[in-house]
Structure 1
Amino acid sequence: MKKGRYTTILIAIILILSFLAYMGLEGFTLQGYRFKSFGEVIKRGLDLQGGVTVVMEVQTDSLETTELDVIKNLLEMRVNKVGVSETVVTTEGAKRIRIDIPGAFNSSEIVKSLSTTGVLTFKDPDGNVILTGSDVKLAEARVDNTGAAIVSLELNESGTTKFAEATKKFIGKQISINMDAEQISNPVVNAEISNGEAMITGMDSLEEAQFVAGIIASGALPYPVKAVEVKTVGPTLGANALPNTMKAGMVGIGLVVILMIGYYRKPGFLASLALGFYIYLVLLIFYSIDATLSLPGIAGFLLTIGMAVDANVLIFERIREELKSGSDVKKALDAGFHRAMSSVLDANITTIIAGLVLYFVGTGAVKGFALTLMIGIVVSMFSAIVITKQLLKIGLHTGMLKKPSDFGVKEAIANA
């Protein structure tokens, strides 16, 4: 009865993995609802779909971290006017900002847009400019008495006069706040404001309020910026890269599975099942954290697949050593995992440390490689230590792993 129950569990695991693999590769539609494949939901980097990468450098000798963040937010607003989704804007080092724009190929127009100084304006309902950034003395994000996030504004003398006249005239109407041609807020005037203080409400979070306050406080770019690196990846190259990469990855994974089963036999088959769950979990994490997958990132992912198999190899070799010394299969399994643990942890923790260095010191594609490498390593340890171990125990209970020869160990050697 017990053997039959574990056999059913093993069959169920194989069926579940087969379903997850199909869903991850192809997706499916159920009653009109589309469950998308990983290829449809995971963002692709420029090298997989084409686009423009621009690295802007702030032209100043001294720059505070907060100033760099404000400039990053301003540039992000400008690049979003291109109408491209999934734009990635990140800071690099002390003075550089990297902007990845998928699907855009007019690099000269983008660089021109990013390099201009920018203008902050307050406009009436007819689109006439009431105030400019030079009229704002202070903009600060805070939380009001009700717990709602707001932006508090303090105007200078000329701004106070202009704003008092405008708010008196447009009570019940909206005055928009714009950076260049991008509207960042459109509050309704509830009463005349004559004390030079105003409040912008309607923010979803304090982070959003801080973003708007930073834009308003900075007005135009506080320092000029210059494009120091511009790269364009054509749509044809990007379109061909992903299918070729997927083919290479599938061939590599297939060869790994064949070698594992050919050398370790039944345990190798169970380890291949664990590898399937590992691949699904890593891709699920990429989707959950909204990661953008690039060619270096895929390379890091494929590297961790090899490292996941490497952990299984260490464990299986320890198990075989125990079997050769005369231990029965159950004791050999427990002892093999226990004795291989230090080697598995040492190898993976060392690689994680290297990944951390690459992530914090590297830029652009190097960061993507490091991030996927670290995520893959952590999940690979979970796969080897937990999933593979449980599958081997199920195999033991089903009678699939009942003698040393199932691990490729000859009976004569095991009983020596």
Structure 2
Amino acid sequence: MDIKRIVAFFAIVLIVFAAIGVTSPQLVKQVKLGLDLKGGFEILYVVEPIEPGKPVTPESLKQTAISLEKRADSLGIAEPEVTTEGSDRIRVKLAGVSNEEEVRKIIKEPAQLTFRGPDGTKEMLGSDFVEGAAQVGFDQQNRPMISIEVKDKEKFRKVTEKLIGQPLGIYLDEHQLSAPIVQQVLTDGKATISGNYTYDEANKLKDTINLGALPLKLTEKYTQSVGATLGQLSLQETVKAGLVGSVLILLFMLIFYRVPGLVASISIITYAWLLLVVFDWINATLTLPGIAAFILGIGVAVDANIITAERIKEEIRSGKSILSSMKAGSKHSFRTIMDANITNIISGFVLFYIGNGAIRGFALTTMLSIVLSVITNVFFARFLTLLLIRSNLFKKPVYFGVKESEIREL
């Protein structure tokens, strides 16, 4: 018996389980829940320009989505999900919202770019500026600045004359983007906005001014509401079903596969924990389809362990030693496992690329679970199994689910 390998096995398992025990409560608490679990509502908007004949560009669509997200943030909604779809659609998911009608009314209003005086008076609108004329340049000190041009020169002259020496605030809805000081009366309809900007800040302000001349109208195409009670009930039932299924799977592995089943149980628990860690790291949102993919991933992980364990049993029945059987069984099962996982990843990638909303969440969880399953249930499980076999603690084939009578002579 090799005491060092036995100690190493138990030390690794204790360290992993200690990490799981310490971090899991916080990880579970930090997981973002989608509106189907937390309650809230989802709206799919079709976007069109307010002024007929003007195009809906990818930039204006993206800027509108950013505006909607900022509006939701200003209303105190935690972590709103706002995504663009296709060339003219925006999907908004707002979880944990109680005053749905009020929020929908505020969200739906077109984003408005305004230029205001110190007293809050709206002196100019985004539509007063020449579309696409705003450009980023550099002043004599090599600091970024934005050059702009207006459609009505006389109106701009009056505004600059009125506010000379005062700030002209640039607002998107009620959010102030900048407040440059009017240095002189401008008569040619052109001006520069300078200040202590980084290049990225100047570029964002330039894009906002250019897109401010293209306000978009939102029309609700689809809406879905989920009550907080219903969402919480769905979460509880799903988690309960997942826990019961996982416990039954682990018992099955322990009863039918003995030592490989023990290692499989350790690697599956490690896999589930790592998936939670990755979810927290990428700040992903967990939905019902995501939980389904999570549980399905456990099934795939179990499948990988069963294939390996059965291959090892076949090698033992052929008369090989336990160590030789483990090496040969792992080698032969690896191709089968990787073939299945690679095809699943391809399917998940296709779903993620062409899908939207819950479908993409399912696909992302599936792909992550496959990668982590290979790491834990192939490589980590193989490492632990080798430690136990080389320790000479489990020499008999019965520990691997094979009876002596089933073994053929080489």
Give the TM-score band, short-chain normalised. Answer: 0.7 to 0.9
**When the two structures are aligned, how many residues end up with a matched partner?**
398
CA contact (8 A) 1:151 1:213 kept: no
Q: How many Å separate the matches in 1 of 2:377 and 2:403? A: 25
The structural deviation recorded for 1:296 is: 0.8
Percent sequence identity over matched residues? 34
Cα–Cα, structure 1 residues 107 and 322, in superposed 2: closer, same or farther, change >3 Å? same
The C-alpha deviation readout for 1:351-379, integer Å capped at 9, x for no partner, is 11211221122221111111101110111
Report the counterpart of residue 71 of structure 1 in structure 2.
Answer: 64
Q: How many Å separate the matches in 1 of 2:331 and 2:34? A: 41
- Any residues of structure 2 matched to 1:75-154 within 5 Å, and which? 75-137=68-130, 138-140=133-135, 152-154=146-148
CA contact (8 A) 2:160 2:185 kept: yes
One-letter code of the match for 2:119? D
Cα–Cα, structure 1 residues 151 and 394, in superposed 2: closer, same or farther, change >3 Å? farther
CA contact (8 A) 1:87 1:102 kept: yes
The C-alpha deviation readout for 1:35-93, integer Å capped at 9, x for no partner, is xx112212111111111111111237974433322222232233333221210101123
Residue 396, structure 1, aligned to residue 389, structure 2? yes
Cα–Cα, structure 1 residues 404 and 192, in superposed 2: closer, same or farther, change >3 Å? farther
Cα–Cα, structure 1 residues 141 and 248, in superposed 2: closer, same or farther, change >3 Å? farther
The structural deviation recorded for 1:201 is: 4.2
Among 165, 171, 174, the residue aligned to 1:169: 165
Q: How many Å separate the matches in 1 of 2:94 and 2:374? A: 35
* Local SS of the residue matching 2:111: coil
* Local SS of the residue matching 1:307: helix
One-letter code of the match for 2:39? G
One-letter code of the match for 2:113? L
One-letter code of the match for 1:19? A
Q: How many Å separate the matches in 2 of 1:274 and 1:100? A: 35
Q: Which moved more, 1:335-344 or 1:188-197?
A: 188-197
Cα–Cα, structure 1 residues 73 and 210, in superposed 2: closer, same or farther, change >3 Å? farther
Cα–Cα, structure 1 residues 346 and 162, in superposed 2: closer, same or farther, change >3 Å? farther
The structural deviation recorded for 1:231 is: 1.3
Cα–Cα, structure 1 residues 254 and 190, in superposed 2: closer, same or farther, change >3 Å? farther
Q: How many Å separate the matches in 2 of 1:307 and 1:273? A: 15
- Any residues of structure 2 matched to 1:199-218 within 5 Å, and which? 199=194, 201-202=196-197, 206=200, 210-218=203-211
* Local SS of the residue matching 2:2: helix
CA contact (8 A) 1:84 1:102 kept: yes
One-letter code of the match for 1:349? I
The structural deviation recorded for 1:399 is: 2.5
The C-alpha deviation readout for 1:273-293, integer Å capped at 9, x for no partner, is 111111111111111111011
Q: How many Å separate the matches in 2 of 1:101 and 1:8? A: 50
Q: How many Å separate the matches in 1 of 2:238 and 2:285? A: 16
One-letter code of the match for 1:186? S
Report the counterpart of residue 57 of structure 1 in structure 2.
Answer: 46
Q: How many Å separate the matches in 2 of 1:349 and 1:396? A: 30
Q: How many Å separate the matches in 1 of 2:73 and 2:333? A: 51
Residue 296, structure 1, aligned to residue 295, structure 2? no
Cα–Cα, structure 1 residues 197 and 310, in superposed 2: closer, same or farther, change >3 Å? same
Q: How many Å separate the matches in 1 of 2:147 and 2:246? A: 58
Report the counterpart of residue 34 of structure 1 in structure 2.
Answer: none
Cα–Cα, structure 1 residues 210 and 320, in superposed 2: closer, same or farther, change >3 Å? farther
Cα–Cα, structure 1 residues 210 and 297, in superposed 2: closer, same or farther, change >3 Å? farther
Report the counterpart of residue 186 of structure 1 in structure 2.
Answer: 178
The structural deviation recorded for 1:167 is: 6.6
The structural deviation recorded for 1:212 is: 4.0
The C-alpha deviation readout for 1:205-247, integer Å capped at 9, x for no partner, is 83x6554433322116543220111111112122233233222
TM-score by length of 1: 0.86
The structural deviation recorded for 1:160 is: 5.1
Q: Which moved more, 1:57-66 or 1:42-51?
A: 57-66
CA contact (8 A) 2:77 2:96 kept: yes
Cα–Cα, structure 1 residues 212 and 329, in superposed 2: closer, same or farther, change >3 Å? farther
Q: How many Å separate the matches in 2 of 1:307 and 1:107? A: 40
The structural deviation recorded for 1:306 is: 0.6
Q: Which moved more, 1:309-318 or 1:99-108?
A: 99-108
Runs (5+) with no aligned partner, structure 1:
27-36
The structural deviation recorded for 1:164 is: 4.2
The structural deviation recorded for 1:396 is: 1.3
One-letter code of the match for 2:165? K
TM-score by length of 2: 0.88
Q: How many Å separate the matches in 2 of 1:200 and 1:159? A: 24
CA contact (8 A) 1:152 1:200 kept: no
Runs (5+) with no aligned partner, structure 2:
none
* Local SS of the residue matching 1:89: strand
The C-alpha deviation readout for 1:82-122, integer Å capped at 9, x for no partner, is 22121010112332111011111333333322332232112
